[in-house]
Amino acid sequence: MNGSEASDGVPARPGALLPLLGTDAAVVAFFAGVADLDATNLADCLLEDGVRLASGARLEQFARAGSGDAFCFVGEGGEERPVVYVSLDGEAGLFALGLPELVRLCLVAPWWRDAPGRTAGELQRIVDEYREDVPDLDQRRDRAAQALGIDPVGLPSEATVLARLLELSRGPVAEACLVVGHGGEPLDPLFDVAHR
């Protein structure tokens, strides 16, 4: 661990995480291979034409999922900016206030996309399937966390990060991060329980 960590266990150096998400082997193995967040080739990160924020603020894609879905920063600034997820299925939503929060979410619950609207039993089945598909999940997570300067022991619980995910999706910042498509119509909410 280095001495420049914030109190939540995430490195306090501005701009420190995104380069590692695209270059460090242990980090890429977890984030691209397990959490489906690929930041290895920023040139591949181009939003579909017409996808933008309703507010007119900047929407900057910095990573993609294997499906082509986009991870985007909102507004101007660095890694502290809000992060929205834009799916090719016409859904979008805020799910982190800054890259450090997104990193924690992915380390703790790489299956976060499947969580909203699930019962505890359904969620446990999803987690069990993830662990069956990736039997070394904890080891890969710990190697990635350590490469990012994060103590894996200090990571929040699954319940904590999922509660935060739902809190953000319903809060005032989410309203300011409304994503619209080609015709200016809002995309469906990413975490709208009624759509699950």
Domain contains 76:
yes
Bridge partners of residue 38, in order along the sequence: 64
Cα(108)–Cα(120) distance, integer angstroms = 16
Domain contains 191:
no
pLDDT digits (tens, 9 = 90+) for 116-133: 677 778 888 888 998 999
- Is residue 26 classed exposed, middle or buried when 0-12, 13-18 and 19+ CB atoms within 10 A define those classes? middle
Contact between 184 and 177 under an 8 Å Cβ cutoff? The reply is no
Contact between 20 and 106 under an 8 Å Cβ cutoff? The reply is no
Domain contains 189:
no
Domain contains 3:
no
Please state the pTM of the whole predicted model. Answer: 0.86
Q: Is 37 helix (H, G, I), strand (E, B) or coil?
A: coil
Domain range enclosing 129? 17-183
Domain contains 193:
no
Q: Which residues have a Cβ under 8 Å from the Cβ of 76 and sit 6 or more positions away?
A: 57, 58
Domain contains 188:
no
pLDDT digits (tens, 9 = 90+) for 46-74: 787 789 999 999 999 999 998 889 999 99
pLDDT digits (tens, 9 = 90+) for 10-49: 544 546 899 999 999 999 999 999 999 999 987 766 787 7
- Long-range interactions of 8-15: CB distance < 8 A, separation 24+: 8/100, 8/104, 8/154, 9/104, 9/150, 9/151, 9/154, 9/155, 10/100, 10/103, 10/104, 10/148, 10/149, 10/150, 11/100, 11/148, 11/149, 11/150, 14/78, 14/79, 14/80, 15/78, 15/79
Domain contains 157:
yes
pLDDT digits (tens, 9 = 90+) for 148-182: 999 999 999 988 998 898 888 888 899 899 999 98
Domain contains 9:
no
Three-class secondary structure assignment of 60-129: EEEEECCCCCEEEEECCCCCCCEEEEECCCCEEEEEEECHHHHHHHHHHCCCHHHCCCCCHHHHHHHHHH
Encoded amino acid at 151, one letter: D
Report the domain count for the chain: 1
